[in-house]
Amino acid sequence: MGQVQAGRIDPGAVEALLARARQEVEEGVLPSCQIALARNGELIAFETFGAATSTTRYVVFSCIKAFVAGAVWALMGDGVLDVSRPVGEYVPEFADTGKEAVTVEQLLVHTGGFPHALLGPPEWDSREGRLETFGRWTLEWEPGTAYEYHPTSAHWVLGEIIERLGAEPYSDVVHHRVTEPAGLPRRVLGIPAHDEDDIATVELCGQVATADELEAVLGVRELPRATDAYEALLYLNRPDVRALGIPGGGGVMRADHLALFYQAILQDEGDIWDPRILADATGTIRNHFRDPLFGSPANRTLGLTLAGDDGLGFIRGFGTATSPRAFGHGGAAGQIGWADPETGLSLGFATNGVDINVIRQGRRGIDISTLAGACVLRS
């Protein structure tokens, strides 16, 4: 990585991308959104639409998983973390109730076997409470035998590993070892009370998809409303929750910082991460299990998702115009973050609108990623 990419930017394609991002704000579906496209270490476009400004930050939910992975990669480079080892070697409190065989790698690729393990207040407010909860968690299936996305559970444990090996709170490790050396000026995890002034409020919007829409796209006529999931997203409006810094879903940042983070990955030549570890993390699929929701291979690397060459990259959040080598991690409510080594492009998209029409939200993400991936003229 680190090379200047060939091929020139297509201004018309960039305008089409911005128009698509603007569309549902103008239609009144989303309260606001922010989009950034970058290449060769610099921004190509950065725009905000709706009730927000260029300084507005957004809750990007699981996009933060890529930043937490970046802290893991740094510790691997230090030689203090071996992801093939059992979690219990680093956090003995975790290795109860049959979890002794769970490895750090399985946390990163979502094969640990405890996707629905819960951690909330007041236990998450203290390290002691978190550790006690880890010890009570039980396995739902044998580690390493299947894939199911762990929304927050695995990353709570990763946060504890990072904290023990990094010798400071995990959110500080992410700041000092990842975002700060990447040139990002503000914290993205664990936002202190004095730095809360410009964060967009997360809002529910839209209408539930009709039975006909669901049947046409997903082959079913109804889905659970997932009310609990929506309420969990709104929980991130609380300053105390943002200050806590949920390592699997509590990221707060601007879209340009998200895009530039991925540029830092593309451009890094050993300044932040060991090149061999970075190449592995951004290019080696370690989880080929089928996604139980979509039926497609998971294509999980050490903390990221890879688009892949099976024509299903659009299901994984990369649209239809990125290369098979594109990598990244999206977030709930349609947040997007990825980079494509073939073109040098990186994308950040954030909105504070939780569109409860899952069909429209999915189409939006595919459209935006596809239009972004087409912004380089390759011939």
pLDDT for res 183: 95
* pLDDT the model gives residue 213: 72
Chain center to CA of 302: 13
CA distances from 238 to 30, 83, 241, 246, 248 (A): 20, 33, 5, 12, 16
> Can you give the pLDDT at residue 210?
72
Report the pLDDT value the prediction gives residue 309, as an integer from 0 to 100: 97
Give the model's pLDDT for residue 285: 98
What are 335's strand-pairing partners?
A: 331
8, two tokens: 């020139």
Specify whether the CB–CB gap between 236 and 250 falls below 8 A.
yes
All CATH 3.40.710.10 domain ranges of the chain, comma separated, are 8-65+188-377
Per-residue pLDDT of the chain (379 residues; tens, 9 = 90+): 666 566 899 999 999 999 999 999 999 999 999 999 999 999 999 999 999 999 999 999 999 999 999 999 999 999 999 999 999 999 999 999 999 999 999 999 999 999 999 999 999 999 999 999 999 999 999 999 999 999 999 999 999 999 999 999 999 999 999 999 999 999 999 999 999 999 999 999 988 777 777 766 666 656 655 556 777 899 999 999 999 999 999 999 999 999 999 999 999 988 999 999 999 999 999 999 999 988 999 999 999 999 999 999 999 999 999 999 999 999 999 999 999 999 999 999 999 999 998 899 999 999 999 999 999 997 6
Whole-model pTM: value is 0.95
The answer to whether domain 8-65+188-377 has CATH 3.10.290.10 is: no
What residues contact 373, with CB distance under 8 A and at least 6 apart?
318, 319, 320, 321, 322, 326, 340, 343, 345
Cα separation, 318 vs 324, in Å, equals 9
Q: What is the pLDDT of residue 138?
A: 97
Q: Would you state the structure tokens that stand for residue 166, as one six-digit string?
A: 């990094």
Rama region for 308: left / alpha / beta (φ>0; ψ in -120 to 50; rest): left
Confidence (pLDDT) at 220: 62
